Amino acid sequence: MSCSAVVVATPTEEIRLQLRSWPEVETYLQRCKGVIVPLGSTEQHGPTGAIGTDALTAEAVALEVGRRSGVLVTPAQAFGMAEHHLGFAGTMSLQPSTLLAVMHDLVLSLARHGFERIYVINGHGGNIATTKAAFAQAYGTAVSRGLPNAAALRCKLANWFMAPEAMGLARELYGDKEGHHATPSEIAITLALEPSLQSKQRPLPEAAPAGPIHGPDDFRRRHPDGRMGSDPSLATAEHGSRFLDVAATALTADLQRFLEEPSS
């Protein structure tokens, strides 16, 4: 199964699912069975980072991939598994079982309408294990419910920050100051998306190194300002534009391969 090739970028309003009508979605499904789901989190990102960083970055990358591929993009799922960040004000978390149920139900809703390739662009490492478990459960549910496209249903999780090209750029720009949370790469994208966030940027002391995470109180004790080995003060909006382009380029190619994979 493949979608029609896009020669020129598709206008953003045409690939945003929430701006389409149901007849338009039915027409779309006649040419393409793929859909992009942005998945993020609403959690602390250090003393200078936006709480919505993971959702903002996932949605921005997803929309750019949608523009380049012509594949529909759903509204962002802005809440993820962030239990370990609950020691910081503003964090809103779903328990793993809740996130699993949410992602399972979203996949089944899309599959019911005829979507067969669900491509989740993720911006938060804490979502990875639970989302993959949701995919496994959704495959079984699709069969038990007798969905006609159950055998063809495929889901894939794409973590934009783990794309080799994005990781390479982070090493080039920041070296070991990229760290593991509240990273300059993700903060850079938010600066490109929302210039007002530049006012929060300031030099920061060296962050505590990354280590094991056991819960919100333990995380707050080990990482008092929320960062894990990172220096987000190195981020710039120009860097953010580069990360957005690099991530979107890598994921657009990955999406196209995913859409073209045979079902059997």
Contacts of 205 (CB under 8 A, 6+ apart): none
Asked whether residue 227 is domain-assigned, the answer is yes
Q: Is the confidence at residue 1, as pLDDT, over 80?
A: no
Q: Is the confidence at residue 116, as pLDDT, over 80?
A: yes
In Å, what is the CA distance from 244 to each residue of 6, 100, 173?
19, 28, 14
pLDDT at 214: 87
Q: What is the pTM of this model?
A: 0.96
Asked whether residue 121 is domain-assigned, the answer is yes
Q: What is the mean pLDDT of residues 51-77?
A: 99
Asked whether residue 260 is domain-assigned, the answer is no
Structural domains of the chain, count: 1
**Among 168, 235, 262, 207, which Cα is nearest to 46's?**
207
**Domain containing residue 191:** 12-254
Q: Are 83 and 95 in contact (CB under 8 A)?
A: yes
Asked whether residue 3 is domain-assigned, the answer is no
Contacts of 35 (CB under 8 A, 6+ apart): 17, 71, 72, 73, 74, 110, 115, 117, 118, 119
Q: What is the CATH number of the domain that holds 176?
A: 3.40.50.10310
Asked whether residue 262 is domain-assigned, the answer is no
Asked whether residue 29 is domain-assigned, the answer is yes
Give 79-90 pLDDT, tens digit per residue. Answer: 999 999 999 999
pLDDT band at 28 (very low <50, low <70, confident <90, very high): very high
Asked whether residue 1 is domain-assigned, the answer is no
Asked whether residue 263 is domain-assigned, the answer is no
pLDDT at 39: 99
Cα–chain center distance at 97: 19
